[in-house]
Structure 1
Amino acid sequence: MSVALVAAALLAAGMALVRYAPERPPGDGDARPVPSSPASAAPGRETLRDLMPPGVKIGSAVDGRGLSLEPAYRALLGTEFNAMTAENAMKWRNLEPLPGVYAWTGADQLVDFAHQHGQAVYGHTLVWHSDVPKWVSPDWPADQVRAVLQEHVTTVVSRYRGRVWAWDVVNEVLDEDGTLRDTLWLRKLGPGYVADAFRWAHAADPGARLFINDYGVEGRTRKSDALLKLVRDLRRAGVPVDGVGFQSHLRWDQPPRDLTGNLRRFAQLGVSVAITELDVRVALPATPQKLERQATLYRQVLRACLAVTACVSFTVWGFTDARSWIPGYHRGYGAACLFDGSLAPKPAHAALLDELRRQLPRAASPSPG
């Protein structure tokens, strides 16, 4: 079936698709646009973005359905955070369901909303083993696999050049034992695909900050040791790795070991660090005691980020339990977010506000010397 016929069929089914045409923001493509003023919060209510110190973004992953259909979700997202990450809208399967046929609507909506509300956009994710479109065949020769991967990275980053401040370039590249994960990209292209992806992304938008992102690396583990070595080796080879993202999908009763020290050792490599996907799941039912322990862990992660100068952003993976991925993936767990299913703030939200207030005198004090 021709691309035109496929596109017509999908459009008839209600899917907004366009053929790729490179787009650039008006004016200098390297310039970051100045966002408009944020929407006002409820009178007298402090928000996380109100209290976050300069230089550190506070963000949330964004559920596309909530953004499209739920005014209360949109209002809270727009007032509480000054950054956002696409939970699914920028993943390859969603962006290019068929070769050369792009569905930009969800990602464009998120980027437009962010800039209307004075929010930065963190792009997620360009290369991920769990998000390879079905039309990309493992039977293709290496040259074809490399070409389609390069085209994907270049196309997506170029479209949002100047409008996305950072990208997860490669996501979950390591296995649990610290070795490179066995993926289509590794099998066909060898370990050099990681460096190639960063170089392609940098060429498409030299002003974007480029991150490597993974889970299970928040504390000192075998996997985080391996990630440290990988980032060190990449940077020594001149690969433009600007930052390391620590996903931080945590359990309420299992804090990471030496999170602050771990962030600092990565920062010593000369990269930025970021908490990219924080949620803290609790064993159901969620009792007040469990929610207090959850709140303590949220506070500890924020404190660790703020203690490390190189920590540039702190992002929760969804802000409401109504839109959380946790119950569908971790059976018997839930209540992982800052707001409950009715968008009422939970103790974890109060703990973050309190921690930020405690940081205010320190942030306002002049540095010695």
Structure 2
Amino acid sequence: MRKKSFKALSAALVVFMTALVICSATVNAATPTGKRLKDIQSRVLIGTEFPSGFTTMSDSSAFLSTATPEFNLVTAENCMKWDATESSQNNFNFAEGDKLVNWAQTNNYTVHGHTLVWHNQTPGWVQNLSASAMQSAMYNHIDKVMAHYKGKIPIWDVVNEAFEDDGNYRNSFWYRTLGKSYIENAFIRARAADPSVKLIYNDYNLEYTGNKSNAAYNMLKDFKSRNIPVDGIGFQMHLDIQYSIDYNDFARNLQRFADLGLEIYITEMDVRVSSNPTAAELQTQAGYYKNIIEKCMAQPAVKAIQVWGFTDKYSWVPNTFPGRGAALLFDSNYNPKPSYYAMQAALGSSTPTIVYGDVDGSGSVDAVDYSLMKQYLLGSITKFPAENGMAAADLNASGTVDALDFAIMKQYLLGIIPKLPVGV
């Protein structure tokens, strides 16, 4: 009896000492120096992901005191996905999602909704429906979820991960039952459900100009040509230092999506290293963050940069990629890592000066630019020579290049107006 009591006492002591060490590490976590990430610039939203139950975690105080001042955009890891919101047909549960939305509103955060239509985390009852019933279920789900969050969530990932890495449509139950039309139909329904929301197609491994990225580009180009309502592309950006990146190719890839008139969102960025990284690995990781974010800051179409979590303590990576981890900006004890300071520096990098009207990048606004705008409006060309040509052609900052911009350009060149509305 005494022996058992001694063992129980020893076990309790170990638990207590472990908790004490964890609490001590959390309390003594280093406070990052310099401006908080969201305060460095105002052009793009800076975001993170929160797990369900974030307010009741054992270290929720440390979690929230670290995250809250750093970001102004948040995505729910799981609680807005189909299995969480509609586990049985037409029975909706928004409790966890509402907690996140309420927290976001209190703390002046924007919420990025994730995700309406995906092949994963969708209940079995959906997967076994007939084509007509499945489409009706998809429409009902989009309607109900977006109606519940109308006016509270301004950005939604409508369809998630519809392509395989080889560029073929993913052989999901959605595709097998409804064909590829389920994607455009989801976007059409989402626009009808809430016309004010930014509608995003979200996927991983889009950063390279390979088969998958080309497939997504071609689909969205087709959508734009047929007025299917899509506003943006989400680059997940789950990276690993084992695989090199051509950063110039990444920048060109961003530009071609921007040239479609799409907004660009970095939605789930993390950079994997080994589970117990060396100092050299952490510096290499920091370089990935720095170079990616600098390219994003140089692209006017990028509207948000979001990491998939911020502390290694709650990262999805170790469970999904055995032997890999430490992918985020803060370590498991909430200390900022080299990657935090790399992101801080990159967010402060200068953004390109746009010479409005200079769509060929010559440095001045002239008859060549006028001719190029005319060709664009006639459909003879689909983009402009300048890297930021689409932004430069939007003379009245309406969000699109249209006949009004062309008329403004003509008035400017004829001397009727002395300057363009957004500067020259």
Normalising TM by the smaller chain, what interval? 0.7 to 0.9
- Please say if residues 165 and 209 of structure 1, whose CA atoms lie closer than 8 Å, have aligned partners that are also in contact: yes
Percent identical: 37
Correspondences of 1:125-274 after superposition (within 5 Å): 125-138=115-128, 140-257=129-246, 258-274=249-265
Cα offset, 1:220, TM superposition? 1.3
Say if 2:40 is the partner of 1:62.
no
Cα offset, 1:212, TM superposition? 0.3
- Please say if residues 253 and 293 of structure 1, whose CA atoms lie closer than 8 Å, have aligned partners that are also in contact: no
Cα offset, 1:44, TM superposition? 7.2
- Deviation string for 1:78-104 (max 9, x for gaps)? 211010011111000011122222221
Which letter maps to 2:94?
A: W
Cα offset, 1:150, TM superposition? 0.7
Partners in 2 of 1:47 and 1:91 — Cα distance?
Answer: 30
Say if 2:317 is the partner of 1:326.
yes
Say if 2:273 is the partner of 1:282.
yes
Which letter maps to 1:318?
A: G
- Please say if residues 255 and 297 of structure 1, whose CA atoms lie closer than 8 Å, have aligned partners that are also in contact: no
Which letter maps to 2:44?
A: V
Partners in 2 of 1:210 and 1:224 — Cα distance?
Answer: 18
Cα offset, 1:137, TM superposition? 4.1
Say if 2:104 is the partner of 1:114.
yes
Q: Name the SS of the counterpart of 1:314 in structure 2.
A: strand
Say if 2:345 is the partner of 1:357.
no
Structure 2: gaps spanning 5 or more residues: 1-30, 357-421
Q: Name the SS of the counterpart of 2:56 in structure 1.
A: helix
Say if 2:328 is the partner of 1:340.
no
- Deviation string for 1:151-191 (max 9, x for gaps)? 01111111111111211100000011111111111121121
Answer 1 or 2: higher relative contact order, Cα 8 Å, separation at least 6: 1
Residue in 2 aligned with 1:14? none
Partners in 2 of 1:108 and 1:63 — Cα distance?
Answer: 13
Residue in 2 aligned with 1:46? 35
- Please say if residues 319 and 338 of structure 1, whose CA atoms lie closer than 8 Å, have aligned partners that are also in contact: yes
Which letter maps to 1:109?
A: K
Partners in 1 of 2:245 and 2:143 — Cα distance?
Answer: 36
Residue in 1 aligned with 2:23? none
- Deviation string for 1:311-365 (max 9, x for gaps)? 00000000000000000000110000000001110000011112223338x78x9
- Please say if residues 127 and 173 of structure 2, whose CA atoms lie closer than 8 Å, have aligned partners that are also in contact: no
Over alpha carbons, which structure has the higher Rg? 2
Partners in 2 of 1:168 and 1:178 — Cα distance?
Answer: 20
- Deviation string for 1:10-30 (max 9, x for gaps)? xxxxxxxxxxxxxxxxxxxxx
Find the partner of 1:99 among 66, 89, 95.
Answer: 89
- Please say if residues 297 and 347 of structure 2, whose CA atoms lie closer than 8 Å, have aligned partners that are also in contact: no
Partners in 1 of 2:55 and 2:263 — Cα distance?
Answer: 29
Partners in 2 of 1:71 and 1:86 — Cα distance?
Answer: 18
Which letter maps to 2:326?
A: A
- Deviation string for 1:276-314 (max 9, x for gaps)? 100000023201100000001011111111111100000
Cα offset, 1:76, TM superposition? 2.0
Find the partner of 1:90 among 80, 83, 88.
Answer: 80
Which letter maps to 1:61?
A: E
For residues 338 and 44 of structure 1, do their structure 2 counterparts lie closer, same or farther at Cα, with a shift above 3 Å needed? closer
Partners in 1 of 2:191 and 2:316 — Cα distance?
Answer: 31
Q: Provide the TM-score with structure 2 as the length reference.
A: 0.73
Q: Name the SS of the counterpart of 2:288 in structure 1.
A: helix
Partners in 2 of 1:80 and 1:121 — Cα distance?
Answer: 15
Residue in 2 aligned with 1:16? none
Partners in 1 of 2:212 and 2:33 — Cα distance?
Answer: 44
Find the partner of 2:63 among 48, 73, 79.
Answer: 73
For residues 44 and 219 of structure 1, do their structure 2 counterparts lie closer, same or farther at Cα, with a shift above 3 Å needed? closer
Partners in 1 of 2:193 and 2:245 — Cα distance?
Answer: 36
Which stretch shows the higher mean deviation, 124-133 or 98-107?
98-107
Partners in 2 of 1:207 and 1:246 — Cα distance?
Answer: 22
Partners in 2 of 1:173 and 1:142 — Cα distance?
Answer: 18
Which letter maps to 1:71?
A: S
Partners in 2 of 1:80 and 1:308 — Cα distance?
Answer: 22
Cα offset, 1:50, TM superposition? 0.8
For residues 112 and 219 of structure 1, do their structure 2 counterparts lie closer, same or farther at Cα, with a shift above 3 Å needed? same
Residue in 2 aligned with 1:11? none
- Deviation string for 1:26-52 (max 9, x for gaps)? xxxxxxxxxxxxxxxx7975210111x
Cα offset, 1:65, TM superposition? 2.9
Structure 1: gaps spanning 5 or more residues: 1-41
Partners in 1 of 2:77 and 2:149 — Cα distance?
Answer: 16
